[in-house]
């Protein structure tokens, strides 16, 4: 009888230990999968695109050392998207002055980009590369792919010169973004980098002080 009780106790302890280990492993996996993209270094792909009136391949890795703006949007020949790209084009000189390059990205082909740019007068001043993530691989990698429609959601990422994500924005397809606010965030990131760290308070704009720890 004592042997049976001893064996049962050992089996119970082993079961509890196994369950504890299982829960620990699950917790670790959950911690990994719930990490945000902010602060992560991303792999930059080679994508086809429409740029300078040509269908071409663009290696985003060749832009390392510059600030990179990844501007995902749902689709060409839609209502809100051309207004967003137009506003980016209006601010393009300011982004370029901050040593940043903008890349608009959708799952449309580069040929559709070309047709859209020629068809829509709002896009006549777009000078940044219009990239094609035709299979959605990069959109999936960045966590912005909407599989039901096979499109990217409205999402914007600011990538620093080393390839780390330092800002991200996501919006419903019905809500257009603000290029002026995107530029402000870029200016804030640049100010922190040049200042060797610190914090930009709410509403910070270039010329205002950065908060430094004492």
Higher pLDDT among residues 33 and 129, named by residue? 129
Radius of gyration of the chain (CA): 24
81 as an active site residue: the answer is: yes
Residue 35 pLDDT class (50, 70, 90 cuts) = confident
> Which pLDDT does position 214 carry in this prediction?
74
Residue 195 pLDDT class (50, 70, 90 cuts) = confident
102-131 pLDDT tens trace: 999 999 999 999 999 999 999 999 999 999
Mean residue pLDDT across the chain:
87
Q: Is residue 7's pLDDT more than 70?
A: no
- DSSP for residue 199: B
Query: How many Cβ atoms are within 10 Å of 194's Cβ, its own excluded?
Result: 9
Kindly state the average pLDDT of the residues 142-169. 97
Pick the CATH number of 46-194 from 3.40.50.1860, 3.40.50.2300, 3.40.30.10, 3.40.50.300: 3.40.30.10
> Which pLDDT does position 213 carry in this prediction?
83
Note the Cα 170 to chain centre separation in Å. 9
Contacting residues for 210 by C-beta, under 8 A, at least 6 apart: 191, 192, 195, 198, 199, 200, 204
> Which pLDDT does position 22 carry in this prediction?
36
Q: Is residue 20's pLDDT more than 80?
A: no
Total-model pTM: 0.83
d(CA 168, CA 72): 11
**Percentage of the chain with pLDDT > 70?**
84
Residue 5 pLDDT class (50, 70, 90 cuts) = very low
Residue 10 pLDDT class (50, 70, 90 cuts) = very low
Point out the catalytic residue in the list 60, 70, 81, 191. 81
47-104 pLDDT tens trace: 999 999 999 999 999 999 999 999 999 999 999 999 999 999 999 999 999 999 999 9
């Amino acid at each position: 009888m004592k042997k049976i009780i001893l064996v049962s106790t050992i089996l119970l302890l082993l079961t509890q230990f196994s369950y504890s280990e299982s829960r620990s492993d699950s917790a670790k996996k959950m911690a990994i999968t719930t990490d945000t993209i902010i602060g992560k270094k991303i792999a930059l792909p080679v994508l086809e695109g429409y740029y300078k009136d040509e269908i071409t391949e663009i290696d985003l890795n060749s832009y390392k050392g510059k600030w990179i703006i990844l501007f995902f949007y749902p689709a060409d020949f839609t209502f809100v998207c051309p207004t967003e790209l137009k506003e980016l084009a209006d601010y393009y000189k300011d982004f370029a002055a901050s040593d940043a390059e903008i890349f608009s990205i959708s799952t449309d082909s580069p040929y559709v980009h070309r047709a859209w740019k020629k068809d829509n007068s709002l896009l006549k001043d777009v000078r940044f590369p219009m990239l094609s993530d035709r299979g959605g691989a990069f959109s999936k990698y960045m966590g912005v792919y909407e599989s039901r429609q096979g499109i990217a959601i409205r999402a914007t990422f600011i990538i620093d010169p080393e390839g780390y994500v330092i800002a991200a924005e996501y919006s419903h397809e019905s809500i257009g973004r603000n290029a002026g606010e995107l530029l402000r965030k870029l200016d804030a990131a640049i100010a922190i980098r040049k200042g060797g760290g610190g914090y930009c308070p709410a509403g910070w704009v270039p010329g205002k002080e950065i908060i430094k720890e004492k």
